[in-house]
């Protein structure tokens, strides 16, 4: 197994992922749970901690947490407890966050991840999920020149925190897990997974140890990594930093660090607090949360389709190879794009998959875009495939049409019409082109007829050129053959 090693060291990584739940209201009050509002609009006495205001638990948030737990193979605890996590912060008006501590809603889950530690070495492994707990988000401070402002819109937003076991042995594994987890949360519709908006946030705990050592090294926690790329780069930097410290005789201190993406370094933010610093105690204003088996069964019964189930369905229903099905379903938006395209493709799901996996993904990668930013709608790709299927355009012309679709977002049929790209399937027209080519190269005709059969390709090429690539390739083959043999 090509586990990355670093000059006699190996690395150990565990992730804490915070996912904002897509409920309509906040975790403990009726304030709207909505992103992007003007400051301090989505607030009420509970999220602003007015004296005497009491929390009331949002049932939908618990339902979403149960969904996430089931989708990540966790065991649900019938009784879980909300606790107060005490700390002072200007954007935390209560002076504590309501979270779950020693009795979280779910524990002991796992996910199967696929990754490449080195290019071309695709492998998979099962990684552990320690726990999922429900908690509320804090507000946000905005630092201005010389003063700060507090916006409490985010205060009380429902979150689940998903804590992994320290099971990752390199940055690629950690990123693969985060991608998979994000996809699952999006599929089950509990979290939008928008990392730029802070909707899904990731902290990476990183330590190193000498190969053969079984004790874990001291970890540093890298806070709020808001993209897959930053996660990988921050972890990579941190591994080298820690090894350098150890190799030069120093010791790693347990601390919280921030990643500076502009400089590609991690910097110490504060020494790491321990659980006892938070003075956790059970929240007296909320009863224990009881999740009975019938609630779990109800959530299970209404669970949206998971990526693995969708991939299996794509194999069954569309005859896709397993690899294609996995790539396409690894992202909910991509899978949705595919299904919409297939619906328009005149029954050619495999051809749609080929175009999506090669041309579309390649162009997205080259322009550093996501499928959501594709310049044309999914239906256009389906229409393009239908035009190929009906013989209206050749696969070769389709590439030209595709380029134009990418550039202008225009309907493929319109492009074909405007650019005069319709395939020539009229045998007489093709024969005329063949005759012309033969007339222009009498020597090649003679040599071909004398047995130099590999000249066949030359004639086909010339005829395609003559017809500006628009001739139906199968017909060209037949007619060239017949004419050269003198059958026509």
Contacting residues toward ligand ADP, per CB under 6 A: 12-16, 163-166, 205-207, 216-217, 219, 221
- Least distance from ligand ADP to the Cβ atom of residue 171, Å: 13
- Of 15-34, binders to Mg ion (CB under 5 A) are 16
- Least distance from ligand ADP to the Cβ atom of residue 272, Å: 7
Quick one: 182 or 310, whose CB is closer to ligand ADP? 182
Q: Which stretch binds Mg ion (CB under 5 A): 11-19, 276-284, 299-307, 436-444?
A: 11-19
- Least distance from ligand ADP to the Cβ atom of residue 281, Å: 17
Quick one: 44 or 224, whose CB is closer to Mg ion? 224
Quick one: 75 or 215, whose CB is closer to ligand ADP? 215
* Residue nearest to Mg ion according to CB distances in the complex: 16
Quick one: 242 or 329, whose CB is closer to ligand ADP? 242
Quick one: 16 or 91, whose CB is closer to Mg ion? 16
Contacts of 402 (CB under 8 A, 6+ apart): 355, 359, 384
Quick one: 31 or 205, whose CB is closer to Mg ion? 205
- Least distance from Mg ion to the Cβ atom of residue 113, Å: 21
Quick one: 274 or 373, whose CB is closer to ligand ADP? 274
Q: Which stretch binds Mg ion (CB under 5 A): 8-16, 97-105, 240-248, 433-441?
A: 8-16
Tell me which of Mg ion, ligand ADP, none is bound by residue 157, counting a contact when its beta carbon lies within the kind-specific cut-off of 5 to 8 angstroms.
Answer: none
- Least distance from ligand ADP to the Cβ atom of residue 220, Å: 9
- Least distance from ligand ADP to the Cβ atom of residue 238, Å: 10
- Least distance from ligand ADP to the Cβ atom of residue 131, Å: 8
Tell me which of Mg ion, ligand ADP, none is bound by residue 217, counting a contact when its beta carbon lies within the kind-specific cut-off of 5 to 8 angstroms.
Answer: ligand ADP
* Mask for 422-461, x = binds Mg ion (CB under 5 A): ----------------------------------------
Which residues in this chain contact Mg ion in the complex, by CB under 5 A? 16
């Amino acid at each position: 197994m090509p586990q990355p090693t670093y000059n006699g060291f190996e690395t150990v990584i565990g992730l804490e992922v915070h996912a904002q739940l897509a409920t309509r209201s906040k975790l403990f009050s009726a304030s709207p749970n909505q992103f992007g509002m003007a400051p301090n609009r989505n607030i009420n006495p509970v999220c602003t901690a007015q004296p005497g205001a009491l929390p009331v638990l949002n049932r939908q948030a618990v339902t979403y947490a149960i969904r996430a737990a089931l989708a990540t193979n966790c065991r649900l605890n019938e009784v879980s407890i909300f606790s107060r996590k005490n700390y002072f912060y200007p954007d935390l008006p209560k002076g504590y966050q309501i979270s779950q501590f020693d009795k979280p809603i779910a524990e002991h889950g796992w996910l199967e991840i696929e990754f490449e530690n080195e290019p071309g070495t695709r492998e998979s492994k099962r990684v552990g999920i320690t726990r999922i707990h429900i908690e509320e988000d804090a507000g946000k401070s905005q630092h201005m020149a010389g003063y700060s402002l507090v916006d409490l819109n985010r205060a009380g937003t429902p979150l689940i925190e998903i804590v992994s076991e320290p099971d990752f042995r390199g940055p690629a594994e950690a990123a693969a897990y985060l991608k998979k987890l994000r996809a699952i949360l999006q599929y089950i519709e509990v979290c939008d997974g928008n990392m730029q908006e802070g909707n899904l946030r990731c902290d990476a705990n990183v330590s190193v140890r000498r190969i053969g050592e079984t004790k874990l090294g001291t970890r540093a926690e890298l806070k709020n990594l808001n993209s897959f790329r930053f996660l990988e780069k921050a972890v990579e930097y941190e591994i080298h930093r820690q090894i350098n410290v150890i190799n030069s005789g120093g010791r790693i201190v347990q601390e919280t660090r921030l990643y500076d993406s502009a400089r590609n370094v991690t910097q110490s933010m504060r020494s790491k607090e321990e659980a006892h610093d938070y003075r956790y105690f059970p929240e007296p204003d909320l009863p224990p949360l009881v999740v009975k088996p019938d609630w779990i069964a109800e959530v299970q019964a209404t669970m949206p389709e998971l990526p693995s189930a969708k991939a299996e369905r794509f194999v069954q229903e569309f005859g896709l190879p397993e690899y294609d099905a996995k790539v396409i379903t690894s992202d909910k938006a991509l899978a949705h794009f595919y299904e919409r395209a297939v619906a328009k493709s005149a029954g050619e799901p495999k051809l749609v998959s080929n175009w999506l996996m090669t041309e579309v993904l390649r162009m997205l990668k080259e322009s550093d875009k996501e499928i959501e930013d594709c310049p044309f709608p999914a239906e256009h790709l389906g229409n393009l495939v239908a035009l190929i299927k009906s013989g209206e355009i050749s696969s070769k012309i389709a590439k030209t049409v595709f380029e134009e679709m990418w550039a202008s977002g225009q309907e493929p049929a319109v492009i074909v019409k405007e650019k005069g790209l319709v395939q020539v399937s009229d045998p007489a027209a093709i024969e005329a082109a063949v005759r012309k080519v033969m007339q222009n190269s009498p020597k090649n005709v003679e040599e071909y007829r004398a047995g130099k059969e590999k000249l066949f390709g030359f004639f086909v090429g010339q005829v395609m050129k003559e017809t500006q690539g628009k001739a139906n390739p199968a017909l060209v083959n037949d007619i060239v053959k017949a004419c050269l043999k003198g059958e026509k």
